[in-house]
């Protein structure tokens, strides 16, 4: 079966992909809002533009997390074996890593949504 990404991509680094995407999203949203609220006209944009930028960053982050989730699901074997994956074999480690990555991806997906939520409700900087 042909896959968009090769299996060599599935390494220990895939475990950290989703949390790193969430952390970068968090920094972009909150640092961007902090800079804008401290110096409102710095880029010649209004608060609506900042909210749209946060929405775009959120959609891109969620898309990257979905790709990492699909890689983790493939590494886990599409859920064919139930946890715990505690065998001291290469296959057991691979299944455990895929399952752990899948769980971290789900947590990161929810965290990105919660990080972007204030942009939905806050319409101006409060001083």
Specify which of 11-20, 30-39, 104-113 reaches the highest per-range mean pLDDT.
104-113
pLDDT in tens, 79-119: 666 656 555 666 667 777 888 888 899 999 999 999 999 98
* Structure tokens, 123: 């319409």
pLDDT in tens, 37-63: 888 777 777 888 889 999 999 999 999
């Amino acid at each position: 079966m042909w896959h968009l990404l090769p299996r060599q991509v599935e390494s220990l680094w895939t475990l950290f992909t989703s949390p790193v995407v969430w952390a970068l999203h968090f920094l972009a949203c909150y640092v961007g809002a902090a800079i804008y609220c401290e110096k409102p006209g710095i880029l010649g944009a209004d608060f609506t533009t900042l909210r749209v930028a946060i929405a775009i960053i959120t959609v891109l982050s969620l898309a990257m997390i979905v790709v990492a989730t699909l890689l983790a699901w493939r590494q886990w074997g599409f859920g064919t074996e139930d946890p715990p994956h505690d065998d001291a074999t290469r296959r057991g480690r691979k299944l455990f890593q895929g399952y752990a990555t899948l769980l971290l991806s789900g947590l990161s997906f929810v965290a990105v949504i919660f990080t972007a939520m204030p942009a939905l409700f806050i319409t101006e900087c409060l001083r």
